[in-house]
Amino acid sequence: MQFIDTHVHLTDKRFKNDIEQVISRATASNVVKMINVGADLQSSIKAVSQTKEHDMIYSTVGFHPHGAKEVDESNYQTLIDLMKGDKVLAVGEIGLDYHYDFSPREIQKEVFNVQMEIAKMYKYPVVIHNRESHEDVYSVLNKFSGSVKGVMHCYSGSYEMAKRFLDLGYYISIAGPITFKNARKLPEVVEKIPLDRLLIETDCPYLAPTPYRGKRNEPAYVVEVAKKISEIRNISLEKVASATMENSQRIFGFEVD
């Protein structure tokens, strides 16, 4: 039984002193692959670098909406250059965040659209950040319907909204909040969406699942997400592991030995 964590941030400073131990604990928990996600220029460069240091690490590169106001034209060319790395699988984490509004919404949309165009041009999937911005995110993704597909990362919306993203060809990635006692919408999402469109992630170091809630999250804990999914869907943990592994290979286009 093998697991993949499709969304980690090992470039975060909270991992700078013990990344080798973090990877060892993941391996001991049968996590065999992880996708290290870029959020700005610096973390994207570092994420690509970390793929060269560890066989089990792949990466994405992209500009998160929080820092959209700091992106300039030269950054896009750097992004394209980084995408040429052997283990770079997607453009991301990109999208919109209307909760914090760290960057003006119109600039967020502009940077999002440009990165979607880049993904379309180079035929890469995308990893989508969507916080309190469902309709505007859907509008952008719908504009690229048929030419770009990807993942709704750390999904937190309703089943009705998930179905609209599924209809565009997107996968739904479930993270630690599914294990929280106050999870309201997510259990229905997990129960109803097709198993062949489901992914698992930690989004570490954020959103550690129960029983680690409040602590630094890490890839080994993705197994707790899988366990909760198996409970909700009333299927074996082995089935969740194999399905989410196959799904990640299908959308991101890589192989597991």
Cβ neighbors of 124 (< 8 A, separation 6 or more) are 83, 89, 90, 91, 118
Return the pLDDT at 257. Answer: 60
Tens digit of each residue's pLDDT (9 = 90 or more) over 20-64: 999 999 999 999 999 999 999 999 999 999 999 999 999 999 999
Contact 162, 189 (CB under 8 A): yes
Give a yes or no: residue 257 inside a domain.
no
Q: Which residue has the tokens 């048929």?
A: 146
Give a yes or no: residue 26 inside a domain.
yes
Tens digit of each residue's pLDDT (9 = 90 or more) over 101-154: 999 999 999 999 999 999 999 999 999 999 999 999 999 999 999 999 999 999
Rounded Cα distance, 257 and 235, in Å: 25
Tens digit of each residue's pLDDT (9 = 90 or more) over 217-232: 999 999 999 999 999 9
Give a yes or no: residue 32 inside a domain.
yes
Total count of domains within the chain: 1
- Domain of 166 in residue numbering reads as 3-252
Share of the chain above pLDDT 90, in %: 98
Contact 41, 78 (CB under 8 A): yes
204 CB neighbour count, 10 Å cutoff? 27
Amino acid at 52: K
Mean pLDDT of 222-243: 98
Number of H helices, E strands in the chain: 9, 8
The answer for 30, left when phi > 0, alpha when psi is -120 to 50, beta otherwise, is: left
Give a yes or no: residue 136 inside a domain.
yes
Tens digit of each residue's pLDDT (9 = 90 or more) over 6-15: 999 999 999 9
**Closest by alpha carbon to 92, among 252, 257, 253?**
252
Tens digit of each residue's pLDDT (9 = 90 or more) over 66-110: 999 999 999 999 999 999 999 999 999 999 999 999 999 999 999
Give a yes or no: residue 107 inside a domain.
yes
CATH number at residue 43: 3.20.20.140
Contact 141, 128 (CB under 8 A): yes
Give a yes or no: residue 197 inside a domain.
yes
Give a yes or no: residue 28 inside a domain.
yes
Give a yes or no: residue 137 inside a domain.
yes
Q: Considering the entire predicted model, what is its pTM? A: 0.97
Return the pLDDT at 254. Answer: 81
